[in-house]
Amino acid sequence: MDGLTTDTPAMDKLDLRDLSFEELERFVGDELGEKPYRARQLFRWLYRRNARAFAEMTDLKEELRERLEARCTIEPLPIAAVHRSADGTEKLQLALKDGGAVEAVLIPGDDRLTLCVSSQVGCAMGCAFCYTGSLKLSRNLTCAEIVDQYRQALHHLGGKAERISNVVLMGMGEPLANFDAVAKAVNLLMDDRGYDLSGRRVTVSTCGIAPRLKDLAEQTDASLAVSLNATTDTTRSLLMPINRKHPLAELMRALEAFPLARRKRILFEYVLLAGVNDTDEDARRLVKLARRISCKVNLIPYNPHGASDFARPSDERILAFQKILLDAGVTAFIRQSRGQDIYGACGMLGRGARRPDSTARIS
Ligand code: SF4
């Protein structure tokens, strides 16, 4: 069947988590010769009851479960390690079939628990301040591997879906560089026959692949975050090579054209780097950009990680920068850094994640 196979990694059995609901329906009808309601049952088991084996699907006849077992897989990505931070953040290291690993991070807030999900193993975007970027790209994750990060986090939390309030694709990788798998995974998470997460609860974060924003808006209802980090092309191109291909003017035009539901705003993320992008002039230029769209700004004081020479600005500088935004009427938060002691904070994912070519065993 078209669109039912993935090129990475090689799998013998069809992974049902790589299928949209419509593809699952076709597979169940065309390949298994079953009625469409069987697809609905399967979908519910996968994305409402978080089933981890066909044997759990007790309202499917045994003979069908055996056929599914023979041809398909829903095997979870094993949780190879859980790193707990003193601040309550938990980083789940999930083992991939090809020997690599990927990370998902549970970040508690005042009244929320956010799951940060990865979309690639490593990243090709090479942002200068980002540890993941220094790893380079090993490969894209499949839709199944993206969705399973949510499924495994739920399992880790005792299966209680209501405990995860938000899902953000801000982990390892650039989501829009793995667009098809990401869009399908987002739609699976949001499908009202399954987990039924709303567009306000699922956010895709990009470094600024401007031409893909239109596709994201057309193919999903996810919220959008943009890692901005600079207000001039010179500085942004220095920090984020993607800016040489899609400069600020092009990015802003794409953002102005991005359709927003009522009250839904784009989130600008701005990593504050001492002496690089944290001056009053930077803040005033950021105000000008922010006023062009409906947005809010997350200021993220840099997390030092050893793979770059940047420094975190002083608390006074961070507050002065925020004040310029607030005084101009721009909503701006300072994101408290979470999970720094376990390399679970922004820009730090990938420390300890093994590359697929590693021979190290994940225990
Ligand atoms: S910030 Fe995001 S896009 Fe940039 S290198 Fe890191 S993971 Fe990739």
Question: Mean pLDDT across the chain, nearest whole number?
Answer: 89
> 146 with 76: CB under 8 angstroms?
no
Question: 174 CB under 6 A from ligand 1?
Answer: yes
Among 235, 232, 259, smallest CA distance to 248 is for 232
**From atom 7 of ligand 1, which residue's Cα is the shortest distance away?**
173
Question: 130 CB under 6 A from ligand 1?
Answer: yes
Q: How far apart are CA 157 and CA 164, in angstroms?
A: 9
Question: 189 CB under 6 A from ligand 1?
Answer: no
Annotated catalytic, 250?
Answer: no
The domain over range 79-342 is classified in CATH as 3.20.20.70: yes
Q: How far apart are CA 325 and CA 290, in angstroms?
A: 9
Residues above pLDDT 70, as percent of the chain: 89
Q: Which helix (H) or strand (E) holds 269?
A: strand 266-272
166's tokens: 């938000």
Q: How far apart are CA 206 and CA 269, in angstroms?
A: 10
Annotated catalytic, 103?
Answer: yes
The domain over range 14-73 is classified in CATH as 1.10.760.10: no
Cα 223 from chain centroid (whole Å) = 12
pLDDT digits (tens, 9 = 90+) for 330-355: 999 998 766 666 565 555 566 544 33
State the residue for tokens 């975050």: 225
Question: How would residue 106 be classed by pLDDT, with cut points 50, 70 and 90?
Answer: very high
Q: How far apart are CA 107 and CA 279, in angstroms?
A: 29
Of ligand 1's listed atoms, the one at least distance from the Cα of 349 is: 7
Rg value, the chain, Cα: 21
pTM higher than the cut 0.85:
yes
Please choose from 119, 170, 227 the residue to mutate so as to test ligand 1's pocket, defined by most ligand atoms within 8 A of CB. Answer: 227
pLDDT digits (tens, 9 = 90+) for 119-138: 999 999 999 988 887 888 99
Res 12: pLDDT:
82
Domain ranges of the chain: 14-73, 79-342
Q: How far apart are CA 162 and CA 325, in angstroms?
A: 34
pLDDT digits (tens, 9 = 90+) for 257-316: 999 987 789 999 999 999 999 999 999 999 999 999 999 999 999 988 766 789 999 999
Question: 207 CB under 6 A from ligand 1?
Answer: yes
Cα(22) to ligand 1 centroid in Å equals 32
Which residue in 103, 145, 174, 269 is the catalytic one? Answer: 103
Question: 173 CB under 6 A from ligand 1?
Answer: yes
